């Protein structure tokens, strides 16, 4: 049954967005009990309600339409590279930057090695040590208190 799958999907998306049921219903502009019934698979929402929920969750309405059975899932593939190259609104430099960025996602490994992360932490820790506060005139590391602000009365 697609209605239950849709409800579970919306509940999972709401949980991952860290939204309460009340907050999501408020953002989507629908009642709290109605949203609860949708999440439990008791109600089949309209396309307009799904669009409002998608907007509140900041996800594609098309995704919810597919889950609800309103739309068929796309099976076509899009060649991003040729689409970027054909875009007449982009300059050659912009096209090159976009293509390089897109290709970098496909050529690098999915996760960074742990070794690189440790080096970054060490560099940050070393930078913090070198940026210590200078000692005051008498050689102690005490800091001065800021001077008190003067309060002035405004006259109309």
Domain ranges for the chain: 2-68, 77-107
Whether 67 contacts 32, CB under 8 Å:
no
Q: What is the pLDDT of residue 139?
A: 53
Single out the residue of 45, 80, 67, 58 nearest to residue 14, CA to CA.
58
pLDDT of residue 20: 95
pLDDT of residue 17: 93
Q: For domain 2-68, give the CATH superfamily.
A: lambda repressor-like DNA-binding domains (1.10.260.40)
d(CA 99, CA 79) in angstroms, rounded, equals 11
Q: Look at residue 93 in the predicted model and tell me its pLDDT.
A: 94
pTM of the model: 0.51
Q: What is the pLDDT of residue 134?
A: 55
Q: What is the pLDDT of residue 145?
A: 57
Spans in the chain with pLDDT lower than 70: 1, 76, 108-156
Q: Please report the pLDDT score of residue 143 as a whole number.
A: 55
């Amino acid at each position: 049954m697609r209605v239950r799958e849709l409800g579970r999907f919306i509940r999972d998306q709401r949980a991952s967005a860290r939204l309460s049921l009340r907050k999501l219903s408020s953002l989507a502009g629908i009642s709290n009990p109605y949203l609860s019934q949708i999440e439990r698979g008791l109600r089949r929402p309209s396309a307009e309600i799904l669009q409002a929920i998608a907007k509140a969750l900041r996800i594609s309405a098309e995704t919810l339409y597919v889950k609800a059975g309103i739309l068929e899932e796309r099976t076509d593939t899009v060649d991003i590279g040729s689409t970027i190259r054909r875009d007449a609104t982009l300059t050659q430099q912009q096209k090159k930057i976009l293509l390089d960025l897109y290709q970098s996602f496909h050529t690098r490994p999915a996760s960074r090695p742990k070794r690189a992360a440790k080096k970054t932490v060490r560099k940050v820790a070393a930078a913090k040590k070198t940026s210590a506060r200078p000692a005051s005139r008498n050689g102690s590391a005490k800091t001065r208190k800021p001077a008190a602000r003067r309060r002035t009365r405004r006259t109309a």
